[in-house]
Structure 1
């Protein structure tokens, strides 16, 4: 449980030098990160320098995925010849090995593209060349630096975490989002912040309890805001009617950084943190505060006969400012997953976990039974769960999937005729295509592709055979899931757009179409 700890001052790591003349700059690029690291953790410098070329290549490869498939500004032509992709932008040409734009694989350090005939290895420099003046260059430079720092802090292969340490297994994921070039962007954080709060650095810390006047509180929870310590200091500065009620017992950050698990067990807390991670500032919307507890009860009834559990969002609350319930001063409390449940993103990227799988075809057949087929059944019932590698966990028994656990209701879609309670925000829809896209983009275009790639690399499984198993499992549902091109969110195009929160899509061939 989250409880109040003895009154101690919160770690002031986001202003470590406030009494000195120099304050470290947030969102550092690789050089700025190295400068800060020399002061904070000189023991990591050698590892950071060693990891940097691989981090450049990993982010560059994610950017090449966008160049290969997305509708990007300024792109005029795209063609392939002799194993190379040739792109013509308005004022620039880019050429690279087509195989470099292969998802879910680690590119070689030193991956190089030709830009107007000159070699280039830095994805931030490539971004600046293609889209001059775009803020995306800074985001990608920060992603490179933070990825190198994450790898420096985790130099040896991860081992299975004990299920008796809540949240530890989620910290096995080092590289972040498998497709997004901003996979490790943390806009607004210093290197000290990363070391203090980012899950890949394995910290523990207390949240702050901020008392809110009852007439300024919205939601089902008591009027006490659980605030991330990074957020708490400037909230107290901006809102003098908040009262600091001291720290909680220690918590451990999960894959999403702003969601935490108490180290002594109990419900998870999703906090608001004004930091851009991948594509968005991570706040808790008034709609999420309203919807979570109501929607949880509905989904538990909807899935009661399936091998899939939706974790209940038990309480939520937000402080009310001049703008109403404020997404920057909000939290949500969620049921913890069962001990040992493994996020699919961790499973697919951790050799120690993949080693526990005896037969990849048996494993994947079980996975279709407890994950993909239930997701399709829930879609038939009018709800599309956004089942990606962070939101979706698998319970294993002797290396075999036995049950799925789903969390985080903010990204789902619910048909207006599904019988759900009154919902706020963009969750309700009467468009079957929107529901199908939500499910297919997360579960099929991301989770299925990543898991099949992992099984083919680690266990030499035949991808076509695995896709056929999946097609068979989905035979009872909408045939478009098996035949239509797979939607993939065009994350780089969205970052470059005037409205970066408006969904854009690209589409890939559906490997199940051959078995439909």
Structure 2
């Protein structure tokens, strides 16, 4: 029983239970059994954020041997276990505010009564219920066959973001839609097709001939988008060259059942933190950025491949756009597997210190070299994939999704490299911005989640000693690790762009 208050079960949990009874009554008992664990998982992520992010209403933090106390601007005292900022297996089941125990993240945020807390509490409520639903539908691990195809690995990521309390927030999705479209439920998704007059489209790259119909361009669309945003329930569904597809980790990107390019679609709702539409500018520059990144990867001696953007199109609306991207499996040799790093957490490979050290050495050397050349990759566990040998050894990296990299003209010029024809937020020479982009996604993201604890991450980052001594390497070795302050960002809707927190570096304690 939740001892935090005497109010009824949170609305999202109640709503999901009622909908589940209608559409999948066989999952009702499993869903109820998963609620306690889902509440703890979201509360654990929230407590990490409260402990480390620069929240303006936290005025003091007092650490004891086994606990942490936060003093709020209103004089409240929030107490919980001493957190490991990089732990993924820990479980916070209770946090106390002024002596009252809270076991549900949404109720805790409501009780804190901070600016914009009501909206965030609703997101946490949704995240908790959706996470329980995601866990409820999983097969028995003892009988579940080992993943082989890339999309099978992606669909093993059940809990979503390892550190974000909104790890499974899916506003606007009914239970039936989550079961029909979310990757962890392993559905087949029927892609829709919307016909747009060619003169009303911006098309870049080699748009498939089978997606042209006379003077019209056929844009693949996600069925949720067609129904809820485009209001085109009559859009052709399940036809054309891509009748059904496997949803990948991002939900809006799918792998067609027949193989071939991955299809990235607009999905105009906020999943985790971001609205997943596709800007016109990203369509306009897709081919140029892809060609630039591909040429850059050729300088890495085969240690890094960047999946190419093959074609992109938009009906001059972020709500109706499609990108075709080369599948990561294109860079696997015979017997090799390409696995997203996020899918490796908790596997026997990631449990091996020797494997983690080899993977960290590969990832750090490649990504720091790319940064030195002039590009900061957003190398978190979804964008970064590793090519494994038949025995599981990490051989090389694959990177996908160039929408949020950062490009430094000054660094490129030092290496005699041309700057691609892009502008805006993608371009910066600010060393802090460049390092935050890479360090926050790779060290405090992909490597941390794979390691699962501060001591294990310290061992992985120890591979920096094997790398050339550059200013970037020294900054990563000796300073605090930057990470996006994801909870602060959700509580600061009027502040544009990323906000950051500094986490202790397990190599130096700072």
Report TM bin, short chain: 0.7 to 0.9
Q: Is the 8 A contact 1:372 1:474 kept in 2?
A: no
Q: Deviations over 1:176-217 (max 9, x none)?
A: 000100000011111111000000100002211111111210
Matches within 5 A, 1:61-140: 61-91=44-74, 93-100=76-83, 102-108=85-91, 111-131=93-113, 134-140=118-124
Q: Does 2:487 match 1:505?
A: no
Q: 1:202 aligns with which of 186, 198, 201?
A: 186
How far residue 101 of structure 1 moved from its aligned partner, in angstroms, is: 5.5
How far residue 244 of structure 1 moved from its aligned partner, in angstroms, is: 4.1
Q: 1:396 aligns with which of 372, 388, 411?
A: 388
Matched residue SS, 1:470: helix
Q: 1:487 aligns with which of 459, 482, 493?
A: 482
Which position in structure 1 is the counterpart of 2:420?
Answer: 421
Which position in structure 2 is the counterpart of 1:333?
Answer: 324
Matched residue SS, 1:194: helix
Which position in structure 2 is the counterpart of 1:58?
Answer: 41
How far residue 148 of structure 1 moved from its aligned partner, in angstroms, is: 0.5
Q: Is the deviation greater in 133-142 or in 466-475?
A: 466-475
Q: Unpaired runs of 5+ in structure 1? A: 1-26, 320-324
Q: Does 2:15 match 1:32?
A: yes
Counterparts of 1:42 and 1:196, CA distance in 2: 15
Provide TM-score, normalisation by structure 2. 0.86
Counterparts of 2:449 and 2:465, CA distance in 1: 16
Q: Is the 8 A contact 2:237 2:243 kept in 1?
A: no
Matched residue SS, 2:381: coil
Q: Deviations over 1:84-113 (max 9, x none)?
A: 21112233624333335653333447x111
How far residue 485 of structure 1 moved from its aligned partner, in angstroms, is: 1.2
Counterparts of 1:66 and 1:168, CA distance in 2: 31
Matches within 5 A, 1:445-460: 445-453=444-452
RMSD of aligned residue pairs (Cα, Å): 2.5
Which position in structure 2 is the counterpart of 1:433?
Answer: 432
Matched residue SS, 1:211: strand
Cα distance 1:268–1:94, how it changes in 2: closer, same or farther (>3 A)?
A: farther
How far residue 385 of structure 1 moved from its aligned partner, in angstroms, is: 0.5
Q: How many positions carry a matched residue from both structures?
A: 470
Which position in structure 1 is the counterpart of 2:6?
Answer: none
Cα distance 1:497–1:236, how it changes in 2: closer, same or farther (>3 A)?
A: closer
Q: Deviations over 1:450-505 (max 9, x none)?
A: 22227x9xxxx965443322343363552212212110100000001033542110
Q: Deviations over 1:85-143 (max 9, x none)?
A: 1112233624333335653333447x111112111101000111123552001100000
How far residue 364 of structure 1 moved from its aligned partner, in angstroms, is: 3.2
How far residue 78 of structure 1 moved from its aligned partner, in angstroms, is: 1.8
Which position in structure 2 is the counterpart of 1:142?
Answer: 126
Which position in structure 2 is the counterpart of 1:269?
Answer: 263
Matches within 5 A, 1:348-427: 348-349=345-346, 351=347, 353-354=349-350, 360-361=353-354, 363-397=355-389, 398-417=391-410, 418=412, 419-427=418-426
Counterparts of 1:197 and 1:54, CA distance in 2: 23
How far residue 401 of structure 1 moved from its aligned partner, in angstroms, is: 0.1
Counterparts of 2:127 and 2:120, CA distance in 1: 10
Provide TM-score, normalisation by structure 1. 0.85
Q: Deviations over 1:268-317 (max 9, x none)?
A: 01111112111111111112212222111111111213201000011111
Counterparts of 1:462 and 1:505, CA distance in 2: 23
Counterparts of 1:388 and 1:502, CA distance in 2: 18
Matched residue SS, 1:128: helix
Which position in structure 1 is the counterpart of 2:4?
Answer: none
Q: Is the 8 A contact 1:308 1:404 kept in 2?
A: yes
Matched residue SS, 2:476: helix
Counterparts of 2:235 and 2:17, CA distance in 1: 37
